[in-house]
Structure 1
Amino acid sequence: MTVVDYYKQDRVGVIQLDNPPVNALSQALRGGILGAIEQAHSDDVAAIVLYCKGKTFIAGADIKEFGKPPQSPALAEVLAALEGSAKPIVAAIHGTALGGGLEVALACHYRCALSSASMGLPEVNLGLLPGGGGTQRLPRLVGVEKAMEMILNGKPVAAQKALEIGIIDRVVNDNLLDGALQFANQLIDEGVGATNPIRRTGELAIECNSDTAQLIADTRERVAKRYRGFLSPHCIVSAVEAATQLSLLEGLKRERELFLECMTSPQSKALRYQFFAERQATKILDLDKTVQPRSVAKVAVIGAGTMGAGITMCFANAGIPVTLLEAQSAALERGLATIDKNYRDSAKKGRMTESQVEQRLSLIKGCLNYDELADVDLVVEAVFESLEVKKQVFQELDRVCKPGAILASNTSYLDLNKIAAFTQRPEDVIGMHFFSPANIMKLLEVVRGEHSSDDVIATVMQLGKKIGKVTALVGVGYGFVGNRLFSAYCREAQMLLLEGATPSQVDQAMVDWGMAMGPLSVLDMAGLDIGYKARQARTDLPDDPCYFHIGNVLVEQGRLGQKSSAGFYSYDPKTRQRDVDPAVEHLIVAEAKHLGVPQRKLEAKEIVERLLYTIINEACHLLEEGIAQRPSDIDLILANGYGFPRYRGGPIYYAETVSLINVLKRVEEFHASQGSLYWQPAPLLRRMAAEGEGFKSAI
C-alpha cells in the first residue's frame, strides 16, 4: 500500500498521507514525505499542502518502532526538508496532531485546522521531551511562557485555542482540504515564496531579556516542586531555555542531547511501560470478542455524599445525563450544592467556561424516589459501606430498573457476589470502584462478579474510557486489587511504628523514595475511622493484637485524622498544616511496651523494603488467585490510584528492576524475622525468581 501520494491541484501541489489508522510517522511515511517534497519542487506548483486522509492528521510516532533501531530517513531529515522548502507549505490539520505530528506541522510554514482538531506535545507523559524540534520551534512561534506550559503539561489544545496563541493561522469549519487550498492560493497571490519571504518558524526571533530569564528560573523552581523526582520536566525547561540562547541548529542539537538523556533513562522506560500497560488493561483475556456493549444514554447515582457527587460529575463531564438519588432532601441538596461549588470553583480557576458549567449542571437532576430511575441504562450505588444497606438499595433497584439496566456498586471492600445475590438479575450486576475524589482521580476498578455477563463487562470497560478513567478489570476478593495491596502496605507501616519508627520517619522514607504521600499521612487524610469501621465489620481478621493497633487506639481516643485535627499527626484546623505530635510518639512507645514488642532503630532502607516488598509479595498472591488479570494491571492500579511513582513503573515492574531473586531473599529474611502470618513468600514469587524470565511468563 502506498502511504504517501502526490498530485497537483491547479497552482498547488498536494502531499496526501494515508497510513491508517492514525497516520503514524512510520519509516514508509517519512520516506514518502521526502519523495513528495522533491516531486513538488520539480513540478510547476507555487505552494504545497500537506494533508492526511482518514480520521486524523499525524497522531504521533509509530509505536511499533518503539525500542527498535532507527530507520532512515530520520524525522529530523523530514522536518529539515519541510522547513527548507523553497515553496510555502501549509499543514492541514484534522483529528489530532500529537508529538511528532505537531512537530511536522511546526516545520511547515503555515498551518490551518478544522475547528474540531486538537494538537499537543504529550512526550512528558512518556518520560521524554519533544525530540523533533518541538522545544525549539514552538517557543519561537508562541513565546516561551505558552510553549513551556504546553510542553510541560502534555495536554492537547483545541483548534480555537491554538489559533488564539498562534500555533495555527486559520480555523476551517467545513471542508479542510478546500480551506487549505484556498489558504495556499492566498499565499501565492501575496507572492509568498516568490516576491515575499516565506515565514519559517525556525527563523522567528525570541525576545530574550531579564523577564524571559526570570520566567525560566521561576518555571524551574515550580517544576522542582510539582514534578518531584521526574527527570523529563527538568530537561524540558533546559531545552526551551536553549531556544532562548542558541540558534535553531544549535538548539536542535541541544534538544537531541536532552532527548537521548531522557530516552535512555530508567524513568522513560518505566513510563513507556505504563503507557502500554494502560492499553493492555482494556483487553479482557477471556471475554467473548463478538459481544456487543449495551447502550448507556442515561445514568443514575445512588447517594449524594462526597463519592456520589464526584461520580455524578464524571458522567456529566462526559455529556451523559445523570440522576442523583438520595433518601433525604437535605442530603440531596447538600450533594447538589457540592457539585455546583466544584464546577464554579473550576471556572474561577480557568479550567472551564461558565457556559460549560451550565451545560454540565443541566445534565444533572436530583430525586428522592427510586421510581424515577425506571428508564436509566446504568445505576451506580455509592452508599454507606454496609452489606445491609447495600441489600436495601439493590432490592429497590431490582424492583424499579428496566430489564437490561446495569446495576453497579461502588463498594471498596464488600463481596460483590453477595450484593448481586440481592437481585434477580446477578448477570447485570458489576462493580465500579471509583477513587476519591471521583471527579479527579483517574483510576476505575471494574469488578467482575461471578455472574457478570460479558456484555455488561464490555459496556462498563468502554464506559470507563468514555468518562476519562484508566480502567482495569479485577476479580472479587476483599479490597479487590488496590485496597488489598494498600491494606498490606498500611499494616506494615503500623508494624514499623511498634518496632521503633516514628510516623514522620515512615512517611519521609516513602516520600523520599518517590511516593506522593507517606502511608500514615494518607490514612490521616482519608480518615482513620474509615478503616476502623471496615475492620470492625470483618470476621476474617488475623488473630494478632498488633494488627493496625496504633490506628485503632488513635480512633478510640477520638483522633480520626485531618477531619478531627488529630491522627498520626496534629493538624491546624484552618489550614490543615501537619505537625509532628510528641503525644503520638509517646503513645506508640507505651503501646509497644504493652504488647511486648521490642523497639529498635530503623533505617530508611529497611522501611522502604518492608513496605514495598509486602506489596510485591501480596501482588503475587493476587495473580495466583486470579483477582488480577495480569502483572501490568497491578502496576497500572497502584500508579493511578495510590500515588505509586509512575517513573518507577509499578510494584511488579520495580521488583524486576531490583531483581526478583533479591526481592525473594528479603521476603524470606522478613519471614524469618517477622513470622509467617504476613510474610509467607508467595509461590509465584519463588517460581518467577527461580525461572529468571520475569513476570511476562506469569500472564
Structure 2
Amino acid sequence: HGVLIDAACDFAQTILDREMPKPLLLRDPVSVPSTEEWDDITAATKKKARGQTAPLAAISAIRTGIEEGPDAGLAFEREKFIELRDSDQSKALRHIFFAERSVAKLPELKGVEPNPLHQIGVIGGGIMGAGIATASLLAGYDVTIIERDDAACANGRATVEKHLSGSLKRGLISQDRFDALMASLKTSTDYAALADADLVVEAVFEDMAVKHDVFGKLSLHCKADAVLASNTSYLDINEIASRCINPKRVIGLHFFSPAHIMKLLEVVRTDKADAKSLATAFDFARALGKIAVPCGVCDGFIGNRIMSAYRKHCEYMLEDGALPHQIDAAMVEFGFPMGLFAMQDMAGLEISWATRKRLAPFRDPSERYVALGDYLCEMGRFGKKNGLGWYRYDENGKAQPDPEVDALVIAESEKKGITRRDFTSAEIMDEILTAMRNEGDKILSEGIANSADAIDVVMVNGYGFPRHKGGPMFMTANVD
C-alpha cells in the first residue's frame, strides 16, 4: 500500500501546476439528439456489436443521462452494470480475456532464456511475407527479405512500403519513423544475406519440395543458433525440419493474413524442437504484439483443422438442402463477421482446392465427399479476386447470391439422390458448433492443443468466432 500511496502522491505533484479539465457534471451540456438520431446511433451500434448486449446498454445509459439528468443516468448505468456482470456474455468475455493471457505460459519454458533477436529474415515477399516483414519492422527489428529475383524483391519492398504508408496516413507512425523503418528493410536474392539473422520465417508457396529447398539453403547459410520457422498452413513441419542440419531449431510460426494486423500466431512445436527455440519464438511473438498459441504438428494445426471440419459439415448441408448464402446468413446472425463461403471467396478458393488435391490420395473412399468447391474452381470461379466464387461480385465488390451456384448445388443433390430439406438458422449453427466441438475434442486427445482455452483463443482471434460467446469449447461446455 505504501508504494501505491507514494506513486499517487508523485502523480499529484506532477499535475499541481497543470490546468485540469472540468469534471463531466460541470461541463457545458451537449445538444440532445433527436429521436431519429438516437435510432440511427442505436442501429449502427447494434450492427457493429453483432449480438453483444453491453454496447447497446451503454447507448441507453448515455441517452438516459442526457434526457433525464446525470443522477438518473448514473443510476441506470449501475443497474445495467450489475445485470450485465452476471450475464452469460460477461462470463464468456472474462473467460477469453484470461485465456489469452495464460495460454502461452508453458511450465516447460519457465526459466528458459530466449535468444536475443535483432535481425529477422523473411523468405518470400508476397502478401504473407510482406506482412510478416512489416510486423517485424514495427517491432523494432532489422529485416531482410529473400526473393527469387530482383523484380520480386522490388515487389516485396513495395508491399511493405504500402503497409507502412497506411500507418503513416492514419497517424500511427511519424514521417521520421517511416523513413527509419524503410531504411531497416533490406532485400536480396542471395541467402548469404541471412548470415547474421537471429530468426528466419519462411513464407513461400505451399509445396513440400519448395520448402525442402528453402530449409536446405537456410541450414547452409544461417548461423548455428538462428531459429528457423515455417509459416506453412498445412504441411508437416517435422518433414520440413528433417532437411535441416539441426532440426532442434526448426519450429512453425503460423501467421494469419494480413500478418501485420491479425493478432493470432500459432507457435508449432516440432518433435525435435528444443526449449530455447520455442522460448525464442514466444519472445518474438510478444515483441510483435501477437497472441501466441502453442500447438503440435498435424494437418492444419488447431485453427485450420477445426475450420476444415466444420467446412465439411457446411458442405454436407449444401447437398442436404441449404444454400451458401443461407449458411453464411446464419453465421453472421450468430455473431461471425462473415460466413464460411464469403470467407472462402475472400481467401481464394484455389487455396483449399490445392489442399484437397494434395490430400486426395489419402482420402477414405467410404467417407462422404462434396465436390462442389472443386467444380467452382474448374469453372474458373476462384472467389472475390476474379468476381466469381460461391457468390457473384458486382463492380463495387459486393457479394450477391448467384443463381448459377444455387443451380449447381441443387443439381448435385439430385445427382446423388438426396432429397433436399429446409434448414433453420438454429439447425445450421448447431451443426457447425457440434463439428467444432467434436474436432476440438480430438485435437485435445491427440495433444495438438494443450487446453480447451487454446482452441477458444484460436477460434476467437483467427476465425471470427464471436468474442462474447467465449469460443466453441467454452460455449458448448456451458450450454444449459
Q: TM-score range by the shorter chain?
A: over 0.9
The AA in structure 2 aligned to 1:413 is Y
213 and 344 in structure 1: CA distance in 2 versus 1, 3 angstrom threshold: farther
Do the aligned residues in 1 keep the contact of 2:320 with 2:418 (CA within 8 Å)?
A: yes
1:428 Cα shift?
0.2
What residue number does 1:468 align with?
289
In the alignment, the residues of structure 1 paired with residue 40 and residue 104 of structure 2 have an alpha-carbon distance, to the nearest angstrom, of 40
Point out where structure 1 has 5 or more consecutive residues left out of the alignment.
5-15, 18-49, 53-90, 93-176, 193-197, 660-699
What residue number does 2:416 align with?
595
The AA in structure 1 aligned to 2:134 is M
1:279 maps onto 2:97 in alignment: no
594 and 545 in structure 1: CA distance in 2 versus 1, 3 angstrom threshold: farther
Q: Aligned residue pairs: how many?
A: 479
1:233 Cα shift?
1.6
After superposition, where does 1:614-693 map in structure 2 within 5 Å?
Answer: 614-658=435-479
Equivalent in 47, 59, 71 of residue 225 of structure 1: 47
The AA in structure 2 aligned to 1:383 is V
1:361 Cα shift?
2.2
1:276 Cα shift?
0.9
Deviations 1:411-450 (A, max 9, x none): 0001110011010111000000000111111110000000
The AA in structure 2 aligned to 1:526 is A
Do the aligned residues in 2 keep the contact of 1:535 with 1:541 (CA within 8 Å)?
A: no
Equivalent in 398, 412, 434 of residue 255 of structure 2: 434
What residue number does 1:153 align with?
none
1:246 Cα shift?
5.2
The AA in structure 2 aligned to 1:223 is T
After superposition, where does 1:471-620 map in structure 2 within 5 Å?
Answer: 471-538=292-359, 539-543=361-365, 546-572=368-394, 574-620=395-441
What residue number does 2:167 align with?
346
What residue number does 1:393 align with?
214
Deviations 1:108-137 (A, max 9, x none): xxxxxxxxxxxxxxxxxxxxxxxxxxxxxx
1:292 maps onto 2:113 in alignment: yes
The AA in structure 2 aligned to 1:181 is Q
When structure 1 is superposed on structure 2, of 234-243 and 273-282 the one drifting more is: 234-243
Deviations 1:13-64 (A, max 9, x none): xxx51xxxxxxxxxxxxxxxxxxxxxxxxxxxxxxxx642xxxxxxxxxxxx
Do the aligned residues in 1 keep the contact of 2:109 with 2:279 (CA within 8 Å)?
A: no
After superposition, where does 1:242-253 map in structure 2 within 5 Å?
Answer: 242-245=64-67, 247-253=69-75
Do the aligned residues in 1 keep the contact of 2:89 with 2:469 (CA within 8 Å)?
A: yes
Do the aligned residues in 2 keep the contact of 1:561 with 1:567 (CA within 8 Å)?
A: yes
In the alignment, the residues of structure 2 paired with residue 537 and residue 323 of structure 1 have an alpha-carbon distance, to the nearest angstrom, of 31
| Higher relative contact order (CA closer than 8 Å, sequence separation 6+) | 2
Three-state SS of the structure 1 residue aligned to 2:224 is coil
Percent identity of paired positions between Structure 1 and Structure 2: 39
What residue number does 1:85 align with?
none
When structure 1 is superposed on structure 2, of 398-407 and 499-508 the one drifting more is: 499-508
1:208 maps onto 2:30 in alignment: yes
In the alignment, the residues of structure 2 paired with residue 310 and residue 200 of structure 1 have an alpha-carbon distance, to the nearest angstrom, of 44
1:180 Cα shift?
4.7
The AA in structure 1 aligned to 2:445 is E
After superposition, where does 1:127-526 map in structure 2 within 5 Å?
Answer: 177=10, 180-181=12-13, 183-184=15-16, 186=17, 201-210=23-32, 219-245=41-67, 247-285=69-107, 287-526=108-347
Do the aligned residues in 1 keep the contact of 2:32 with 2:67 (CA within 8 Å)?
A: no
Do the aligned residues in 2 keep the contact of 1:448 with 1:476 (CA within 8 Å)?
A: yes
Do the aligned residues in 1 keep the contact of 2:32 with 2:66 (CA within 8 Å)?
A: no
1:252 Cα shift?
2.7
The AA in structure 2 aligned to 1:342 is H
The AA in structure 2 aligned to 1:634 is I
After superposition, where does 1:8-157 map in structure 2 within 5 Å?
Answer: 17=4, 51-52=6-7
Deviations 1:195-229 (A, max 9, x none): xxx97625422422256988766543432222221
Three-state SS of the structure 2 residue aligned to 1:449 is coil
Three-state SS of the structure 2 residue aligned to 1:473 is strand
1:552 Cα shift?
0.7
Deviations 1:488-525 (A, max 9, x none): 11111111111111111111111111122111111111
In the alignment, the residues of structure 2 paired with residue 351 and residue 220 of structure 1 have an alpha-carbon distance, to the nearest angstrom, of 29
In the alignment, the residues of structure 2 paired with residue 352 and residue 218 of structure 1 have an alpha-carbon distance, to the nearest angstrom, of 33
In the alignment, the residues of structure 1 paired with residue 29 and residue 172 of structure 2 have an alpha-carbon distance, to the nearest angstrom, of 29
In the alignment, the residues of structure 2 paired with residue 229 and residue 182 of structure 1 have an alpha-carbon distance, to the nearest angstrom, of 43
The AA in structure 2 aligned to 1:517 is M
1:290 Cα shift?
2.6
The AA in structure 2 aligned to 1:232 is A
1:335 Cα shift?
1.7
Normalized against structure 2, the TM-score is what? 0.94
1:597 Cα shift?
2.8
In the alignment, the residues of structure 2 paired with residue 422 and residue 256 of structure 1 have an alpha-carbon distance, to the nearest angstrom, of 61
In the alignment, the residues of structure 1 paired with residue 70 and residue 422 of structure 2 have an alpha-carbon distance, to the nearest angstrom, of 56
Deviations 1:145-179 (A, max 9, x none): xxxxxxxxxxxxxxxxxxxxxxxxxxxxxxxx3x8
In the alignment, the residues of structure 1 paired with residue 21 and residue 240 of structure 2 have an alpha-carbon distance, to the nearest angstrom, of 65
1:264 Cα shift?
1.6
In the alignment, the residues of structure 2 paired with residue 343 and residue 211 of structure 1 have an alpha-carbon distance, to the nearest angstrom, of 38
Three-state SS of the structure 1 residue aligned to 2:292 is strand
Deviations 1:594-645 (A, max 9, x none): 2333322222222111111011001101000000100110011000000100
Do the aligned residues in 2 keep the contact of 1:412 with 1:433 (CA within 8 Å)?
A: yes
Do the aligned residues in 2 keep the contact of 1:301 with 1:312 (CA within 8 Å)?
A: yes
Structure having the higher helix fraction is 2
213 and 275 in structure 1: CA distance in 2 versus 1, 3 angstrom threshold: same
Do the aligned residues in 2 keep the contact of 1:493 with 1:506 (CA within 8 Å)?
A: yes
In the alignment, the residues of structure 1 paired with residue 76 and residue 134 of structure 2 have an alpha-carbon distance, to the nearest angstrom, of 44
Three-state SS of the structure 1 residue aligned to 2:362 is coil
In the alignment, the residues of structure 1 paired with residue 465 and residue 258 of structure 2 have an alpha-carbon distance, to the nearest angstrom, of 17
Do the aligned residues in 2 keep the contact of 1:444 with 1:464 (CA within 8 Å)?
A: yes
605 and 465 in structure 1: CA distance in 2 versus 1, 3 angstrom threshold: same
Do the aligned residues in 2 keep the contact of 1:493 with 1:520 (CA within 8 Å)?
A: no
1:378 Cα shift?
0.1
In the alignment, the residues of structure 2 paired with residue 535 and residue 358 of structure 1 have an alpha-carbon distance, to the nearest angstrom, of 43
1:325 Cα shift?
1.1
374 and 528 in structure 1: CA distance in 2 versus 1, 3 angstrom threshold: same
236 and 397 in structure 1: CA distance in 2 versus 1, 3 angstrom threshold: same
1:249 Cα shift?
4.0
In the alignment, the residues of structure 1 paired with residue 65 and residue 175 of structure 2 have an alpha-carbon distance, to the nearest angstrom, of 37
The AA in structure 2 aligned to 1:235 is A
355 and 228 in structure 1: CA distance in 2 versus 1, 3 angstrom threshold: farther
The AA in structure 2 aligned to 1:565 is G
What residue number does 1:663 align with?
none
The AA in structure 1 aligned to 2:167 is S
The AA in structure 2 aligned to 1:571 is Y
Aligned-residue CA RMSD in angstroms? 2.2
The AA in structure 2 aligned to 1:368 is T
Three-state SS of the structure 2 residue aligned to 1:323 is strand
